[in-house]
């Protein structure tokens, strides 16, 4: 995909947004209107039992329209061809819906004109990636597993986003993402290998397949471990899972406003080694530099040196807090508020091996799954381990153990004095376009395992 083609794609997306805006203003001249257009491709090559069984690709053309009349607002969307007829029908319906809605006393109005950061997390080769290129990475993954059964996927995604509103705000952005996520399986254990990047070329299927197979073999024939409180070394996917709960239920301005959050700005709530920011400008992340409301994203310190410094806001929650939006509104997110987009947890000074060598008696965990929050205010979460768990004694991995259930306060796990080590190396974890985490591994002083996977 050439620069000329990419520029043309941006112009087409913005033209669609402008047409929708004009059609709405013709029908209701006094309406406040905002339009977001998302275009691109989503391609996936999936494999199971070490064979590719699915290759799919879809064109995305999604138009989101929000209209406000005297503080009465409603929204709708159009998927597929966005000609004047389809847009006009959708706009007629959303204007009628807005007129019969009750007034919204907290309607924050539209985003004013403002420039977004000069961010371009985009790779031409990934935007043009073929099924053969994805299949080659799957093949390398399978071959590197050395005969173990494998399953997983390789994906490539391209996004072009355009925003326009009746207050004069105009923005365009683009991005690419590629991911390989797979497992290798023995008779008694699974091991995972995954990586996410802006560039498909960064994903080495052989390296990831070998990693998955090594983990699976090392985790084979596990034995039970008594429930209890242990030190833990958590690999990056676990850390990303922890942060997802802290963000949705903690650093979210709506949760704070409603009294459901632990977060207290200015309080030392975490270990001094913890510094977390939301930063779309970081070269290690990916994404678009503005949100669904047309608010530019700027780097935001959420935690610095263990002290809670900032909260995430949409235009609505920012107005209620008197602080303004931080650019973290997402489509369909009104029910829960702002969502962190590009989370960057500061790395430390240890290798993964040095984290393990610092453990007297503890557990090494690859992945969490089935995590569910029990108490948002204390961040008590329950869940299971997955894809490799090992007992550590005197700084050495001594044996694999069966999967464990945990019930743990994530705030306490990262609290003052609780973090014993942070790895230098960080990995990118992708949870859709709305949440991307660049995170290290952590050595934590205490983690509460309450039983085996069956209870």
Question: What is the rounded CA–CA span in Å between residue 156 and residue 127?
Answer: 8
| pLDDT tens digit sequence for 407-417 | 999 999 999 99
CB of 191 closer than 8 Å to CB of 212: yes
Strand pairing category for 436-452 and 342-345 = parallel
**DSSP one-letter code for 126:** H
Q: At 160, phi and psi to the nearest 5? A: -125, 120
Question: What is the rounded CA–CA span in Å between residue 304 and residue 338?
Answer: 20
CB of 108 closer than 8 Å to CB of 318: yes
Question: What is the rounded CA–CA span in Å between residue 177 and residue 156?
Answer: 6
Q: Residue range 357-376: average pLDDT?
A: 96
**DSSP one-letter code for 210:** H
Q: What is the predicted pLDDT for the residue at 332?
A: 86
Where do the domains of the chain lie? 3-214, 222-452
Superfamily of domain 3-214: PmbA/TldD superfamily (3.30.2290.10)
**Residue in 398, 369, 327, 382 with CA at minimum distance from that of residue 163:** 327
Query: How many Cα atoms within 13 Å fall on the side-chain side of residue 346?
Result: 17
**Average pLDDT over all residues of the chain:** 95
Question: What is the rounded CA–CA span in Å between residue 32 and residue 9?
Answer: 26
By percentage, how much of the chain surpasses pLDDT 90? 93
Q: What is the predicted pLDDT for the residue at 59?
A: 95
Helix (H) or strand (E) holding 231: strand 228-234
Scanning the structure block, which residue is given the tokens 């242990």?
Answer: 230
Q: What is the predicted pLDDT for the residue at 318?
A: 96
Q: Residue range 253-259: average pLDDT?
A: 95
Question: What is the rounded CA–CA span in Å between residue 435 and residue 344?
Answer: 11
Q: What is the predicted pLDDT for the residue at 432?
A: 53
Contacts of 237 (CB under 8 A, 6+ apart): 192, 194, 366, 367, 368, 427, 429
Q: What is the predicted pLDDT for the residue at 3?
A: 40
Q: What is the predicted pLDDT for the residue at 2?
A: 35
**Residue in 166, 160, 161 with CA at minimum distance from that of residue 34:** 166
Flag whether the pTM goes above 0.85. yes
Q: What is the predicted pLDDT for the residue at 431?
A: 67
| pLDDT tens digit sequence for 112-153 | 999 999 999 999 999 999 999 999 999 999 999 999 999 999
Q: Helix (H, G, I), strand (E, B), or coil: what is residue 100?
A: helix
Q: At 63, phi and psi to the nearest 5? A: -120, 120
By percentage, how much of the chain surpasses pLDDT 70? 97
| pLDDT tens digit sequence for 40-66 | 999 999 999 999 999 999 999 999 999
| CA dihedral over 120, 124, 129, 133, signed as positive or negative | negative
How confident is residue 334, by pLDDT bands cut at 50, 70 and 90?
confident
Low-confidence winner among 325-329, 339-343, 390-394, 437-441 (lowest mean pLDDT): 339-343
Q: Helix (H, G, I), strand (E, B), or coil: what is residue 75?
A: strand
Distances (CA, A) of 258 to 27, 249, 377, 404: 37, 11, 11, 34
Residue 7 has pLDDT above 80, yes or no: no
The helix/strand count (H/E) of the chain reads as 10, 17
Residue 342 has pLDDT above 60, yes or no: yes
Scanning the structure block, which residue is given the tokens 């929708």?
Answer: 20
Q: At 124, phi and psi to the nearest 5? A: -60, -45
């Amino acid at each position: 995909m050439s620069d000329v083609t990419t520029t043309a794609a941006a112009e087409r997306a913005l033209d669609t947004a402008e047409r929708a805006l004009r059609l709405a203003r013709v029908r209701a001249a006094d309406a406040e209107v905002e339009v977001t257009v998302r275009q691109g491709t989503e391609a996936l090559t999936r494999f199971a039992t070490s064979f590719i069984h699915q290759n799919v690709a879809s064109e995305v053309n999604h138009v989101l329209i929000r209209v406000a009349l005297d503080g009465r607002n409603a929204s709708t969307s159009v998927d597929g061809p966005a000609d004047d007829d389809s847009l006009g029908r959708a706009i007629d319906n959303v204007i009628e819906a807005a007129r019969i809605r009750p007034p919204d006393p907290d309607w924050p109005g539209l985003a004013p004109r403002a420039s977004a950061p000069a961010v371009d997390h985009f790779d031409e080769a990934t935007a043009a990636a073929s099924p053969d290129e994805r299949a080659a990475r799957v093949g390398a993954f399978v071959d590197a597993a050395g005969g173990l059964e494998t399953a997983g996927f390789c994906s490539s995604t391209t996004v072009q986003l355009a925003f326009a509103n009746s207050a004069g705000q105009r923005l365009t952005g683009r991005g690419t993402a590629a991911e390989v996520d797979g497992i290798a399986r023995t008779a008694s254990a699974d091991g995972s290998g995954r990586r996410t990047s802006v560039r498909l070329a960064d994903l080495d299927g052989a390296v990831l397949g070998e990693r998955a197979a090594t983990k699976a073999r090392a985790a084979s024939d596990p034995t039970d471990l008594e429930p209890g409180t242990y030190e833990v070394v958590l690999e990056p996917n676990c850390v990303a899972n922890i942060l997802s709960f802290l963000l949705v239920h903690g650093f979210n301005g709506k949760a704070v406003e409603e009294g459901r959050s632990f977060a207290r700005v200015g309080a030392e709530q975490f270990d001094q080694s913890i510094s977390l920011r939301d930063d779309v400008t970081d070269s290690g992340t990916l994404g678009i530099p503005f949100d669904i409301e047309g608010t530019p994203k700027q780097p935001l310190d959420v935690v610095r040196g263990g002290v809670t410094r900032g909260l995430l806001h949409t235009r609505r929650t920012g107005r209620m807090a008197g602080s303004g939006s931080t650019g973290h509104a997402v489509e369909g997110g009104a029910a829960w508020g702002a969502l962190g987009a590009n989370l960057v947890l500061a790395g430390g000074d240890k290798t993964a091996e040095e984290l393990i060598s610092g453990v007297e008696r503890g557990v090494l965990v690859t992945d969490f799954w089935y995590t569910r929050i029990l108490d948002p205010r204390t961040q008590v979460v329950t869940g299971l381990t997955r894809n490799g768990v090992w007992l550590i004694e005197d700084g050495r991995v001594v044996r694999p153990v069966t999967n464990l259930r945990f019930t743990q306060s994530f705030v306490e796990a990262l609290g003052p004095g609780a973090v014993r080590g942070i790895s230098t190396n960080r990995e990118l974890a992708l949870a859709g376009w709305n949440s991307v985490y660049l995170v290290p591994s952590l050595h934590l002083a205490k983690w509460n395992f309450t039983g085996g996977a069956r209870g």
